[in-house]
Structure 1
Amino acid sequence: MSNSYEKRLLRVISYIHDNPGGDLSLDTLADVAAMSRFHWHRVFTGMMGKTAAQVTREIRMHRAACWLVQQDWSVADIAARVGYPNVGSFTRVFGEEFGLSPVAFRNRGDLTGSLPEPHEGDYPMYPVDVETHPDRPLAALHHKGSYLEIGEQFQKAGTIIAARGMLPAMRGMVGLYYDDPTSVPEPELRSLAGVLLADGTEVPDVMEDVTADGGRFAVLHFTGPYAGLKAAYDYLYGKYIPEHGLELRDAPAMEIYLNGPQDTPPDELKTEVCAPIV
């Protein structure tokens, strides 16, 4: 697939992320892509596997979910900031995406960074295994800033793979999280969005060839929306690892995504949360 089309798709993805409350109509996105509106939607859908409207909605709802927990803005204000001047419409769409109303989601407050702040208290139980993993070569894009915003890099990584006709070689996605958000300022947090490719597949020139080191991990098996991962991390780091006398080693936390939101309902998403241990 032409590198020109790949660049246009990436430009559009960035524009949606940067302007969630703006005019994201097909005509506007066609202008951003510098393509005829008569052909733009067909090209986007054919290359991405979903419509521009679906991608726009996903990005807007994720941004809203972040703001509901991070900010004290009213629901009406957040709705407007993601392009929904009608609160009723926003509430309906948000509920379809997350299975909760915006108010209930905010009250639960469980969409936080990927690394938890240990605390005393009760924890839900999750299945955990100690496993030895091989090294994982990744085609990667780096992210700096809030872990909650790494989704843009995952989306761009998937766009590059799709635009280059490499989807048959894709074996999954892996996230690496290098810093502790309780001790590192949010703008300086480092993370990585990686695509696991079949052996022998050449890494696209616009992505970095990175190896996720293997070794022993305490692996928590999580099923459900990514918004619930905070509780999973709390259990893994705050209860399971201390109670089992495991020693953490100096390596980043890793998330392995066994499926993805593009074709899986939120309640059926499967994530392996991997804490590196000695």
Structure 2
Amino acid sequence: MRYEDRLLRVLTYVHDNPDGDLSLDRLAEVAAMSRFHWHRVFHAMTGETCAQVVRRMRLHRAAGRLVREETSVDEIAQDCGYPNPRSFVQAFRASYGVTPMAFRQAGRLDAPALLQRRGGLKMHPVEIRDNPARRVIGLPHTGAYMLIGEKFETAAAMIGSRDLWEKCGPMIGVYYDDADAVAVDDLRSFAGAEWRGDDIPEGFDSVEIKGGRTAVMTYKGPYATLKSGYDALYGGWLPTSGETPADAPCYEVYLNDPRDTPPEDLLTDLCMPLA
């Protein structure tokens, strides 16, 4: 079995079993390698330990549910692999800087922009740029946008295992559907990285992003709260801009690395192609 296949199998297992046994022993078993050697291989190929990946994935999934659901914090903690509520609060605060309840209260996404209190719609800088055309290699995703992380992890692992990062630009996500108008199970998106090489590497799909005038909002904050950026872009900036969106999907360009950046410091360009 190729080491890339072992890595992808483990990443899939982690995302499919957030509340399951994700111990190093179990993940080594999934990889069909000894515990000692698997830990070294995983860290060398991804730049993170197994424990770091598991914690980041679990907390990201919890953060998304906190701002999108009414489910109790304790139930979300249980579903995301934290049977002890206190340990969940401690882990969440260490990563996100606030308690789960405070994060929920600050990031609620259930009010339309026009119905939010005056001053409650947090604005971020928006500028019109002449963005370049881009080719993106990666993997398609169908289903909830909050679960696209598995495809990003998989695409990044494939790029890293083949030593292709020198031919890649930033990670990019393309989102084809409106999450408020399309059933969750039918949402279409694409996770990958800008490709600056020639032929598309085996095992990757590709999409083309046309260049041209683009409204770009640089959003600072956790990926779980990106929807508030879109609310501000569509409900705050666009109606007063005099601009018309092009018949093309929005896409996101991720400007720093969630592996070594606190969630509150993550920077994402939300890109809306203009007519």
State TM-score, norm by structure 2.
Answer: 0.93
**Overall identity of the aligned pairs, in %:** 48
Superposed displacement of residue 268, structure 1: 2.1
Cα shift at 1:170:
2.7
Q: Distance in 1 between matches of 2:198 and 2:89?
A: 43
Verify the 8 A CA contact 1:45 1:52 in the aligned structure 2.
Answer: yes
Of 46-55 and 94-103, the range deviating more from structure 2: 94-103
Q: Is the 8 A contact 1:66 1:111 kept in 2?
A: no
Deviations 1:236-259 (A, max 9, x none): 111211101111111001111111
- The yes-or-no answer on 1:38 pairing with 2:70 is no
Q: In 2, are the aligned partners of 1:110 and 1:227 still within 8 Å (CA)? A: no
Residue in structure 2 matched with residue 60 of structure 1 by the alignment: 58
Deviations 1:142-179 (A, max 9, x none): 01111111111111111111111223333211111101
Task: Give the Cα–Cα distance (whole angstroms) in 2 for the partners of residues 110 and 255 of structure 1.
Answer: 21
Q: 2:235 aligns to what?
A: 238
Tell me which residue corresponds to 2:177: 179
SS of equivalent to 1:172: strand
- Cα distance in 2 between the residues matched to 1:85 and 1:192: 33
Decide which moves more: 45-54 or 78-87: 78-87
Alignment partner, residue 94 of structure 2 = 96
Match of 1:261 among 244, 254, 258: 258
Q: How far has the Cα of 1:134 moved from its partner?
A: 1.7
Indicate whether 1:119 and 2:117 are aligned.
no
The residue type paired with residue 119 of structure 1 is: L
Closer, same or farther: CA 130–99 of 1 in aligned 2, 3 Å = same
CA distance in 2 between partners of 1:259 and 1:140 (Å): 18
Give the Cα separation in 1 of the matches to 2:236 and 2:96.
Answer: 27
Letter in 2 for 1:138: V
CA contact (8 A) 2:216 2:270 kept: yes
Measure, in 1, the Cα distance between the counterparts of 2:204 and 2:197.
Answer: 16
Give the counterpart of 2:245 among 236, 245, 248.
Answer: 248
Q: Which residue of 2 aligns with 1:152?
A: 150
120-129 vs 264-273, which deviates more? 120-129
1:221 to 218, 223, 231: 218
Cα deviations across residues 52-73 of structure 1 (Å, max 9, x unaligned)?
Answer: 0000001111121223233333
| Inter-partner Cα distance in structure 1 for 2:57 and 2:230 | 24
Q: Distance in 1 between matches of 2:260 and 2:167?
A: 18
The residue number in structure 1 matching 2:79 is 81
- Structure 2: stretches of 5+ with no match in the other structure: none
Superposition CA RMSD, Å? 1.8
- Whether the 8 Å contact between 1:65 and 1:111 is mirrored in structure 2 is no
SS at match of 2:114: coil
Report if the CA contact (8 A) 1:143-1:190 is conserved. Answer: yes
Q: Report the number of matched residues.
A: 272
Kindly tell me: are residues 149 and 34 of structure 1, through their superposed partners in 2, closer, same or farther at Cα, counting changes over 3 Å? same
The match for 1:131 among 111, 122, 129 is 129
Q: Deviations over 1:86-143 (max 9, x none)?
A: 111110101122222111122234468xxx9653444222211111112101112101
Residue aligning to 1:27:
25
Is contact 2:60–2:224 with CA below 8 Å preserved after alignment? no
Cα pair distance change 1:224/1:70, threshold 3 Å: closer
Determine the C-alpha separation between the residues in 2 that align with 1:95 and 1:245.
Answer: 41
SS in 2 for 1:184: coil
Distance in 1 (CA, whole Å) between partners of 2:59 and 2:192 is 23
Q: Which amino acid aligns with 2:249?
A: P
Q: How many angstroms apart in 1 are the aligned matches of 2:152 and 2:34? A: 27
